[in-house]
Amino acid sequence: MNAPLVRLTSLAHGGGCGCKLAPSVLQELLAGELAAGPYRQLLVGTETGDDAAVWQVDPNTCIVATTDFFMPMVDDPYDFGRIAATNAISDIYAMGARPVMALAILGMPVDKVPVEVVRKILEGGATVCASAGIPVAGGHSIDAPEPIYGLAVIGTCRPEQVRKNSGARPGDAIILTKALGVGIYSAAIMKGALDGAGYAEMLASTTLLNKIGAELADEAAVHAITDVTGFGPLGHGLEMARGSGLTLTIRFSDLPLLAKAKQLAESGHVTGASKRNWASYGNDVVLPGEMQEWQQHLLTDPQTSGGLLIACAPEATERIRGRIVAAGYPMASIIGRAEAGKPGIRIVA
């Protein structure tokens, strides 16, 4: 981590995917959106809160489009750029597509952030795009009161490769590809409570591209994919449960965690977004009676550039998980199953 010329986090009222509107507010804003009208070629819109829009342009080709941006969760500008770009590209992979091009979205308080800092942010984003094999083909910038950076990303896939968050089936196993605790780590950063090893662990996770999503799109046994970001594992799991009309049963003991997540959560390093998340969707979650407060916070913890949540046929579970681990996601874990029942989530110990 380089010593910053200015603490980027000091200029933002929130950071990373914790900046998202609360799930309940977003639902209210999008209520009825695209509910009527002949969108014959729009395969995925806003109906189920999926990760990107999908437009079928011919019998063999879909265009996948998304945008994602946020305020800094770290002070190092290069690292901020890398995390934000990785997070934005994730939406394309979560749909089963491969990215082809990105446009930069930049807002900076030009009177507070030196030009060299802004340049480092853009360099970080461009580095990740190069790793994904895509150009940053342009973008837009404004003078803003808080620093903002992200990408609009375009991808492509075949129609049969599209993976919605609403395709889970009864009996499916649920796999999570990355460890949880990014929001808790970011809260610790704000208070100077995360050491160098913890920072490196968080950076390795948040800059790991979710390329495995596009690879799994050719697996008939993989029925649904979504990425876990600002609404936490519960919020994005609920989107899958509601869209699929199923109950997800999640085993807390099987959730993969960053090394210091439990310790930091027990010490109270929790984001405000974690509490807003629970207030938004807690009524659709059944917790075990013995659950402690720090455990609940891990379930609602906003994940910036988090892993993929995958629903797959039970007979293929171990093979799919093994493929994910072999592709470079060592924390990939089987965390639960989908069952017939009222849409919602049930947590078991």
Q: Does residue 312 have an active-site annotation? A: no
Contacts of 310 (CB under 8 A, 6+ apart): 174, 175, 176, 177, 216, 222, 224, 225, 320, 324
The span from the first CA to the last CA of the chain, in angstroms, equals 37
| Cα 241 to Cα 37, 168, 215, 311, distances in angstroms | 26, 8, 23, 10
Distance between CA 29 and CA 32 in Å, rounded? 9
Better pLDDT: 166 or 7? 166
pLDDT digits (tens, 9 = 90+) for 110-121: 889 999 999 999
Residue pair 51/105 in contact (Cβ under 8 Å)? The answer is: no
pLDDT digits (tens, 9 = 90+) for 189-215: 989 999 999 999 999 999 999 999 999
Residue pair 34/204 in contact (Cβ under 8 Å)? The answer is: no
- Per the listing, tokens 């404004």 go with 142
Distance between CA 284 and CA 298 in Å, rounded? 17
Distance between CA 187 and CA 245 in Å, rounded? 34
Q: Where are the alpha helices (DSSP H) in the chain?
A: 23-30, 77-94, 115-131, 182-190, 196-206, 212-216, 232-244, 261-266, 272-281, 293-300, 317-326
Structure tokens at 44: 């995925």
Residue pair 54/3 in contact (Cβ under 8 Å)? The answer is: no
Pairing state between β 53-58 and 42-44: antiparallel
pLDDT over 70 for what percent of the chain?
Answer: 89
- Per the listing, tokens 């952030």 go with 113
Instruction: Determine how many CB atoms are found less than 10 A away from the CB of residue 30.
Output: 14
Per-residue pLDDT, 7: 66
pLDDT digits (tens, 9 = 90+) for 303-348: 999 999 999 999 999 999 999 999 999 999 999 999 999 999 999 9
- Of residues 17, 62, 129, 157, which has the active-site annotation? 17
Contacts of 195 (CB under 8 A, 6+ apart): none
Rg (CA), the chain: 19
Structure tokens at 118: 């802004």
Contacts of 269 (CB under 8 A, 6+ apart): 184, 185, 187, 188, 191, 193
Per-residue pLDDT, 116: 95
pLDDT for 224 beyond 80? yes
Residue pair 52/263 in contact (Cβ under 8 Å)? The answer is: no
pLDDT digits (tens, 9 = 90+) for 74-87: 999 999 999 999 99
pTM over 0.75: yes
DSSP-assigned states of every residue in 182-196: HHHHHHHHHTT---H
Give the relative orientation of helices 23-30 and 272-281 as an angle to the nearest 10 degrees: 50
pLDDT for 144 beyond 80? yes
- Per the listing, tokens 């027990």 go with 266
Q: Of 7-16, 132-141, 261-270, where does mean pLDDT reach its minimum? A: 7-16
Burial class (CB in 10 A: 0-12, 13-18, 19+), 259: middle
Distance between CA 181 and CA 115 in Å, rounded? 32
| Cα 343 to Cα 151, 245, 332, distances in angstroms | 32, 5, 25
Which domains are seen in the chain, by residue range? 8-160 (3.30.1330.10), 164-348 (3.90.650.10)
